Amino acid sequence: MQLGYVTDDIDAAASYLESRLGTVDCVRHYKSSLGGGRPPGSAGAGGPRAPFVVVDGEPADEWVIDVALVNAGPTNLEIIRPVGGAVDLYRGAVRPDVPATLHHLGFRVDDFEEASAVVAASGRTWKQYGDSGGIRFGYLDMTAELGHFVEVMELDEASAQGFAHLEAASNAVRDGELA
């Protein structure tokens, strides 16, 4: 469902998609943070979801990125600019002086716990995982085998609607409904 890119200039990368690839305007989010939260313990199960991110097995106290999102038909294009904290997963793939670099392929799953069990059964661990409050996600490091990460996402209803809105905006332009 998603092609994820990294960049050192979120506005230049978004402008590149808009002007050179003909996408609609990217939706930009600056200084998105998941740092400081902690994964729920067994005692906290069933309570409200609080945002957190775990990187290399350790909860991140600081984790800040800029994000631009747009769709090309059904495929979401995500651009991430690492800003601060435990964001080396993104920073290490940035190539200076290019609009964006492929970083990950994103796949939607119905059950993140089930996906995590599959990852564990394969003898692997998530390089990074977390919960934005609307998206439970994990990155599997496949850079040695495939040259990129694989992201797995479980979306809540509001997040699924957000991605559907991006797709509808892309399709409206393609179908000639918007100028």
Give SS3 for 164.
helix
Res. 47 pLDDT band, cuts 50 70 90: low
Residue-level length of the chain? 179
Could you read off the pLDDT of 55-102 as tens digits, one per residue?
Answer: 999 999 999 999 999 999 999 999 999 999 999 999 999 999 999 999
Using DSSP's 3-state secondary structure scheme, residue 73 falls into coil
Task: Give residue 43's pLDDT.
Answer: 40
Lowest mean pLDDT among 43-52, 121-130, 162-171: 43-52
**What is the residue-averaged pLDDT of the chain?**
92
The pLDDT-based confidence of 179 (bands split at 50, 70, 90) is very low
> Which residues lie closer than 8 Å to 7 by C-beta, 6 or more apart?
13, 79, 80, 81, 94, 98, 99, 100, 101
Hunting for tokens 């599997």 — which residue is that?
140
DSSP 9-48: -HHHHHHHHHHHS---PPEEEEEEE-TT-----GGGTTS-
Q: How far apart are the first and last CA of the chain?
A: 26
Instruction: For residues 27 and 31, give the distance between their C-alpha atoms in angstroms, rounded to a whole number.
Output: 13
3-class SS at 59?
Answer: strand
| pTM across the whole model | 0.91
pLDDT band at 174 (very low <50, low <70, confident <90, very high): low
Give the residue from 153, 178, 6, 179 showing the smallest Cα distance to 92: 6
